[in-house]
Structures are given as structure tokens and as C-alpha cells.
Structure 1
Amino acid sequence: MSTRIPATLIPGDGIGPEIVDATLAVLDALGAPFEWDTQIAGLEGVTQAGDPLPPATLDSIRRTRLALKGPLETPSGGGYRSSNVRLREEFQLYANLRPARTIVPGGRFDDIDLVVVRENLEGLYIGHEHYVQIDDDPHAVAMATGINTRAGCRRIVEFAFQHAIATGRRKVTIVHKANIMKALTGIFKETAEQVFEARYKGRIAMETVIVDACAMKLVLDPWQFDVVVTTNLFGDILSDLVAGLVGGLGLAPGANIGADAAIFEAVHGSAPDIAGQGKANPTALLLAAAMMLEHVQRHELALRLRQAIQDTLNVDQVRTGDLRGSASTAAYTRALVARLKG
């Protein structure tokens, strides 16, 4: 019997518990080695512990250094910050990894297989914002400060090149806006070029693309891209765009990776409007679980899981409503489990 791997499990809010239950059933059928420590966060954390990120949850992730989480809802009002942002900051999860791979063929784009690597801790998302009052308008001027550091740029670019080479990719595209934001994203472009010249030239191809041109090229000819690495704001936008190429956020997994911890998730929201109705598609979280298996070097299990998902959707034609099917969450889960056990 393989060694058990401790991991934190956060069911989350809205459809979170449903898709987490589905994922656990599938991982159990797969024989995945995780030993779960279930914790709460988001709205459930506020309800039960008065904190969207309770100390027990943070302590669990510090111990396991590995987590799978459902979508979290940030309570409105009360001054609560996003639990997702707090988790990234708490554990210095500087790399957001968002693969996009065609699973259901026949859409606008077929045979998509690319990865967006997004810097997770810097840029315009650091939250340094304020208003300036003029006359009787307290919000007359809004100001935001973005910060990119040489060290932060180097760290994410190194991660992107190393991930690309380790996974057999052919090219890394550096996405920036250095023609306008010459300092804030100029440092990112400059650092990426320096890292490439010093360590990766001759091992993999590299190009630089301005972000607006990149967005256009992604919808005109996405096959020209392989691994895209960019700053926080641009990565947030482009990773959702790329998810749209393969069918939407219901098929989009994500990983937040740092030196000491990694958290895997479905990148879609908690969808409270369909919670408890058996309509949720757990595929994004299942694909995140496959990434988690790869992270702990269980590549054969990740491969089996992805193959079972592909066969269930395309051979068995068992699909949830968002993929123009009629299967409930439970029926889709049963079909996946049957695939893995059959």
C-alpha cells in the first residue's frame, strides 16, 4: 500500500461541498493516496468561526503544505478581504498555474493545449489604493499603486521556464505592457529577457508580446502559444480568456504554488444560485486534483484520472447541463467511478 499523503480539504461555499464530494468519490475509486484534514473557510468560516480564514485552517495547511479547495465566497460588508488573496499572501503562493486543454471537442477551437503562468502576489493587485477628495466629492480621484519587484519577476519567470522544460513544452511567451507602463511592466520584460539569456537560451524558445496583441492572437490563432507567463492583472484576465477557448470555467483547474505550500482549486465561483440542485459540474475540481497528483509525483494516477474524465464525457457522453448534457452531478460522478473501476 502506498504511503498516505496528508492534505488539507476545504469544501468551500455554494456548490463547493457538492463538487468536493464528487471529487472525493472519484479519487477514492482511483486509489489516490491523500489523507484528508477537512477545514472551513470563506462564508462557512464566518458562519462557524467568525473568520473567513480560521486559524485552524491556516494551521492545517502549514502542517500539510498541500490543499484542495472548493470555491469560497467572500462575505459582503464587514470589511472582509478575499480568502483566496489571504491564502496566497499567507503562504507566499507566488505562482498561479492555469492549464487550458481541450477535453470536449467540437467547440470553436479544437486541440488547445496551453498554460498561463500568472504572478500571484505583486502588480496592481497588492491593494494599495486610495481616494482624493476635491470640494465635496470624497471620491473625486481614485489612485492605485502597483509594485513589481526584480526578485518577484525573476521568481515567476524561473518557475515558468522550469515548468515549460519539465513538461516538454517548446516556447515561453512573456506578456507585458512595457510600451506604456515602462517601469511597472518594463521590469518584468527586462528581467525575463535577462533570465532567458543567462539560463535558458538554447534550451527552449522565448518571445515577448504586448498584452493587447496577445489577447487578439489568442482568439485568432491560439495554437501559436504554449506557455504564457505574465504579471498579476494580465494573468487574471488572460487565464479566463484561455479558459473560454476550451469551454469555460467549468473545465478550468488552477494551482497556486509557493516554495512551502501548494493549493489546488476550481477557478470558478461558488454559484450559490444552483447550490444543492445537483447541477454543478465537478470537472474543474477533478482536473485540479489531477494537477495535485502530479505535484506529489503520482503521474500515473493523474493520467488515469484525466483519461477517465475524457472517456466519460466523450465516449459515454455523460455530461452536465453546462456542457449541453442532462446528467446530474451524482450521475456524472457515478459514470466516472464506473470508468475507473471498470
Structure 2
Amino acid sequence: MARRSGSILSRLLANPPPSPFTAPTRSITYMPRPGDGAPRTVTLIPGDGIGPLVTGAVEQVMEAMHAPVHFERYEVRGNMRKVPEEVIESVKRNKVCLKGGLATPVGGGVSSLNMQLRKELDIFASLVNCINVPGLVTRHENVDIVVIRENTEGEYSGLEHEVVPGVVESLKVITKFCSERIARYAFEYAYLNNRKKVTAVHKANIMKLADGLFLESCREVAKNYPAITYNEIIVDNCCMQLVAKPEQFDVMVTPNLYGNLVANTAAGIAGGTGVMPGGNVGAEHAIFEQGASAGNVGNDKMVEQKKANPVALLLSSAMMLRHLRFPTFADRLETAVKQVIQEGKWRTKDLGGDCTTQEVVDAIEMASNSDARPLPKFGDWDVNDPATAEGFTVIFSKAGEDKKTGRSTSKTTSQRKQDAKPAVKKWLCFTFS
């Protein structure tokens, strides 16, 4: 027995098992489709308050990484009565938007521009990823919650009126179409991301018809996904369970108002709204922004000191890069952000530090730029040469298709209104077969 044990021990010493800390080898390659490397134009809305600070941070890091993304900037303010038409047209044309926070005045007759954008573009799903970030000490560990919220109806339908002086009605609208649509998106997300459970959040014990219809829709969709566990929870119990045991939740699907409350609660538990990414998506368009409420949009002191936390919007930008099919750039950006947070030296006040936005961004830029390479050349146009690249938007399409309508044509039909004055004024078109 001793001889046999010695033989086994000698073999183990001669061929030790791989260390769990050994650097991982490259995974199976990502095979892009022809034209996937084409630079993409993204509509940029800096927004109010800290918005220009954090969107500027994204622009700086993207440029340092040589990410194939060009921003088309529009100035929009929360006190405007409506979103300018040229902004809507830009998002429709580019399909993707990156947005800072837009302040919504309390009271008065000014409606939320955020809601206007979502309804105008039918961006029906909001997604907030509430997850523990390595290096940030929180009360709860192993938090990894995705809150998926219906964006276009519910209490945020905007249907309010004064019946008689002193009496106001605010209508909550729930439809089977929108409820089934958000439920399908939640289950599809869970399936594609190997998530195990979807929880529907409701108040059907009181709002038996409205939230009852929402639950009925979720149950019907759940039948098509037998491998995913489906359960339901009343919203007040949900908030209590989030605070007590958040790790029990996986994907949560909610009507409009509940999702707003639940996402912010989960974000606070996981590390704070300053580090939670998110986005909004519809069938045709997507808007990426800070995941939970941008509570510091109106914080004049933070704007003056230039100490806004850029992490949430940078991680949202990583989500955007994956949405644009630039996975390697997304991985580099996410890794750089998490590396800087874990090191602990460069943090804003909400994360226990005292750094400015610029100091944090510079550290992330350095971490992301270790293997940055210049953008490629396309024909006679060099995106690295300011003399030829400045002021151009690039459109790529399949050969022989109109860039806007898909009809067969030999030239682009994209036109701008005379009163629109964005940074991008010219068009270049490259075609691939």
C-alpha cells in the first residue's frame, strides 16, 4: 500500500494540476460578419447636471480605446417642453443612443422628456443590472439581480386630470399586449443569459384587474420556458425581501412604477446607483444610460466640484458596445472599470474616496489602453487623421441598399433639417457585399 501511495504521489508531483489562478487561455474565436468592424454612429445626449461630466468620461475612454464608435451630439435639457424633432430623427437613424440624466421638474406642466423618448421610439423595456462590483464592500454578497421593467404604460401613462378643484385622477393603464411583450423579453433575456429564475412583481391582491392582467400575461409566457423557474411576489414583500435576502432574486419583471422602486432599492443594496449599468430597448432602438435613477442630476455642488461618479455610465457603455457587436471592446472597458474599483485608489466620494471625475476617468483610460490599437483605414478615408475624419458620420450598409429605407439605390437619402446643428454635418458611405 505504501509503494502504491508513493507511486500516485510521484505522478501528482510530476504533473501538478493547473492552478485556478493561472491566466485563462483565449476562448474559441469570435467570428464577425462582414462589415461588423464598421464604425457606428451613436446619438449622444449629455443631459443635465452631472450628465456632461459622465458622458464626457465615456467619450474620453472610447477615444483612448480606439473603439469604432462616433458620437452625434445633441443638447437637450430637462426643462424643454418636448424632445426636439431632430433628436428623435437622429435616434431613429442611428438606432442607438447614449444619454446622461435629464432632470424632470416636480409639478408644473413640463412632462418628462425621458418618457417622451421611450414612447416616441417605443422603447418598452428597461433593464438594470444590480450586481456586486469586486472591491466594493457591501452588506450583502452574491447579489446579481436584473430588473426588467415595462417602460410605456402603467402609472407613467401620463393620464392625469383634475376632476373638480381639489380632486385629481391619475390613471393606471395595463394592456395585455404590453404585459405579454415585457414578459416575453424577460424570459428571453433569462434564457439567453443562462438565468434560472424569473420573478413577477405585482400588487394584484389590491389592483385585481390591472395587476391581475399583468400576472396572467406573465403566467402564459412562462409556460413556454419550462426550464426557467417562475414565481410571483407582492411588491411590498419584495422590497422587504430585497433588503433582507437579495441573493434569492435573479431576473425580476415588473410594471412601470414598481420597477423604478425595485431597481433603485436593489442598486443601493448592491453598491449604489453610481455603479449600476442599465439600458432601454425596443424592437428597433436602444438607449443606454445610468441604470438606477440619476439622483445627482440636480446636485449643483457635485457639478461644481466635478466629482460625479462615471462608473455606471461607463459600464452602461460596455453594454452598448456588446449591443453594437463589439464584444472585445466591451470586455476591455468593463475589465478596466472593475480593475480601477478593485485597486481602491481612484474612487469618488460615494464609493469612499475623494477623487474627481477626471481622476477616475484617467485611471480607467490607462487601464483600458494597455493594448489599444489605432482604428483601421477605409478606402481613402483615415479615421485616425483629423484632417479627413473630423465632422463625418459613417454609414455602412449592404451593397445596393438605401441606407435609410433598404430600397435599391446608388446614393444615400439621409438629409438634415436646416435648423439642426449637431456636431456631425457630413456623410461618408462605405458599402460591403
* TM-score, normalised with respect to structure 1: 0.92
- The answer for unaligned runs of 5 or more in structure 2 is 1-35, 371-433
Q: 1:267-298: per-residue Cα shift (whole Å, max 9, x none)?
A: 41423412142211111111110111121222
Is the Cα contact below 8 Å between 1:102 and 1:113 reproduced in 2? yes
- Could you say what the CA RMSD is over the residues aligned between the two structures, in angstroms? 1.7
SS in structure 1 opposite 2:236? helix
Is the Cα contact below 8 Å between 1:178 and 1:210 reproduced in 2? yes
Counterpart CA distance in 2 for 1:112 and 1:304 is: 23
Counterpart CA distance in 2 for 1:74 and 1:235 is: 18
Partner residue, 2:216: 190
Q: Which amino acid aligns with 1:110?
A: E
Counterpart CA distance in 2 for 1:105 and 1:60 is: 38
1:130 Cα deviation (Å)? 2.2
1:88 paired with 2:115, answer: no
Is the Cα contact below 8 Å between 1:278 and 1:329 reproduced in 2? yes
Q: 1:242 to 1:11 in 2, by over 3 A?
A: same
1:299 Cα deviation (Å)? 2.4
- Alignment counterpart, residue 59 of structure 2, candidates 14, 24, 34: 24
Partner residue, 2:323: 295
1:320 paired with 2:339, answer: no
1:23 Cα deviation (Å)? 1.1
1:125 Cα deviation (Å)? 1.2
Q: 1:196-244: per-residue Cα shift (whole Å, max 9, x none)?
A: 11x111x211111111111111111111110000101111110110111
Partner residue, 1:64: 94
Q: 1:126-169: per-residue Cα shift (whole Å, max 9, x none)?
A: 02222332xxxx11x33222111111000000000001111111
Q: 1:118 to 1:326 in 2, by over 3 A?
A: same
Partner residue, 1:215: 239
1:271 paired with 2:298, answer: yes
Partner residue, 1:285: 313
Counterpart CA distance in 2 for 1:132 and 1:5 is: 49
1:193 Cα deviation (Å)? 0.6
Counterpart CA distance in 2 for 1:76 and 1:56 is: 26
Moved more, 313-322 or 19-28: 313-322
The correspondence of residues 105-254 of structure 1 with structure 2, limited to 5 A, is 105-133=136-164, 138-139=165-166, 141-197=167-223, 199-201=224-226, 203-254=227-278
Is the Cα contact below 8 Å between 1:8 and 1:68 reproduced in 2? yes
Counterpart CA distance in 1 for 2:108 and 2:239 is: 36
Is the Cα contact below 8 Å between 1:15 and 1:276 reproduced in 2? no
* TM-score, normalised with respect to structure 2: 0.73
Q: 1:153 to 1:313 in 2, by over 3 A?
A: same
1:102 Cα deviation (Å)? 1.0
- The answer for unaligned runs of 5 or more in structure 1 is none
Counterpart CA distance in 1 for 2:194 and 2:234 is: 25
Q: Which amino acid aligns with 1:56?
A: E
Moved more, 215-224 or 274-283: 274-283
SS in structure 1 opposite 2:172? strand
Counterpart CA distance in 2 for 1:154 and 1:290 is: 28
* Aligned length, in residue pairs: 330
SS in structure 1 opposite 2:97? strand
Is the Cα contact below 8 Å between 2:141 and 2:247 reproduced in 1? no
Partner residue, 2:104: 74
1:39 Cα deviation (Å)? 0.9
1:300 Cα deviation (Å)? 2.5
Q: 1:157 to 1:92 in 2, by over 3 A?
A: same
Name the one with the larger helix percent: 1
1:262 paired with 2:286, answer: yes
SS in structure 1 opposite 2:185? helix
Is the Cα contact below 8 Å between 2:103 and 2:298 reproduced in 1? no
Q: Which amino acid aligns with 1:268?
A: A
1:18 Cα deviation (Å)? 1.1
> Whose RCO is larger (CA < 8 A, sep 6+)?
1
Q: Which amino acid aligns with 1:130?
A: H
Q: Which amino acid aligns with 2:123?
A: L
Q: 1:142 to 1:122 in 2, by over 3 A?
A: same
Partner residue, 2:390: none
Counterpart CA distance in 1 for 2:247 and 2:265 is: 14
1:75 Cα deviation (Å)? 5.2
